Amino acid sequence: MKKFISFLLSFAFAGSLFAQMSGYSSGSYSDGTTLGANETLTADGIALGNAVKLRGFADFRYHYEDDGAPNNDSADFKSAADLDFLLNLSSGVSGEIHIAASPDAGNGGEVDLEQVFGRYSINENFHLTFGRQLSALGFEQDEAPLLYTVTSAYDDITGDKHGRSGNYIDGLRLNYNNGMFGFIFGIYDDYWVGQHDLNDHVAIDIAASVMFFPGLEGRIGFAHENNDAPGDDDINQFNTWLAWNPSALTLAAELDIFDVKGNDLWSLMLLANYQFSDWFAGTLRYTHEDDDDSNAQTDRITLALLFTLTENLDLNVEYSHSDRENADVDEFLVQGLLSF
């Protein structure tokens, strides 16, 4: 507990110091919430005719990990790529198709259809999306160019390929956004377990976001998945976060509370990012994960240095130290990120 309190004090001091530094300031901040918004029409991309835009990235990374045990360190290289097709059709109809490739995922790699959804805009504020789309809960984005670090903050807690956020789920979602307030309500065939069977799994989520004033946003959301399989219980998630983005500084705090098949878990994330110049940024992140049933706890501190070499090429370096139940784990990553 003393270590935790000491880190909080250090975190607050670092945020105050960042805010006072005289480095580069982009002068930009979040002036509206994106929850429930139609971002397809405003997104950047390469025009492929009048109705289609293309964007994407290639992610190359080196990962070294040492858990302190003799001769048990590991190192590997991984690569991945992502292509997004943004469709702007007539009469308020739009949609997106996201394709991800992971050459190192298995024998010969794999190609996934991450998202494919259509959108009907009732008016400029109300939208109905249907198909495979990204879940709405969680502070972190799902794609590498949108992260403040190289790695995500949390481990996988549901026992399959999905983690705490960034799930791709099939269903129908009602979206509302007027700039300062956003709201979504959706119903899906599943949220985490990936069985894709409406007869056995039905899930819902509901979330609201408020931009209190330009730069300060708060979100709150809840998701529930019903599981009728013998021996399995339902899954519930409560998520809330607050982010402050005054110009070059970003501060964020997030709380997750889970009930996973009768097992209670909770986690806390604190993040500070500062854009020192137009080519260099730094991120400090703290994550605490707690499994109440097994009394397993993990504390992780991550430092990421983010370099923009050109408009399309980033070089990112990350170090993290995890204090786990039975071991201390050190990780070092170098990432090359080519985006367009």
Write out the DSSP string of 80-149.
EEEEEEEEE-STTEEEEEEEEEETTSSTT-EEEEEEEEEEEESSSSEEEEEEEEE---SSS-SSGGG-SS
pLDDT tens for the chain, 340 residues: list them: 344 334 433 443 444 333 333 332 333 346 789 999 999 988 889 999 889 999 999 999 999 998 877 777 889 999 999 999 999 998 899 999 999 998 765 556 788 899 999 999 999 999 999 999 999 999 998 899 999 999 998 865 444 434 456 789 999 999 999 999 999 999 998 887 555 555 556 899 999 999 999 999 999 999 998 876 655 678 899 999 999 998 899 999 999 998 877 778 899 999 999 999 999 999 999 999 888 766 678 899 999 999 999 999 999 999 999 988 778 899 999 999 999 9
Find the angle CA(32)-CA(278)-CA(321) to the nearest 5 degrees: 85
The first and second tokens of residue 285, run together, are 């992140």
pLDDT at res. 19: 37
The contacts of residue 327 (CB under 8 Å, 6+ apart) are: 67, 68, 69
Residue 338's pLDDT is what?
A: 96
| Closest among 203, 197, 202, 133 to 168, alpha carbons compared | 133
53 Cβ partners below 8 Å, 6+ apart?
A: 43, 44, 45, 46, 47, 85, 86, 88
Nearest to 35 by CA among 248, 168, 202, 206: 206
Residue 49, both tokens: 């005719």
pLDDT for residue 225? 87
Question: Which pLDDT value is given to residue 199?
Answer: 54
So what's the pLDDT on residue 231?
58
What is the model's pLDDT at position 28? 37
Distance CA 200, CA 159 (A): 18
- Can you identify the CATH homologous superfamily of domain 2-339? Porin (2.40.160.10)
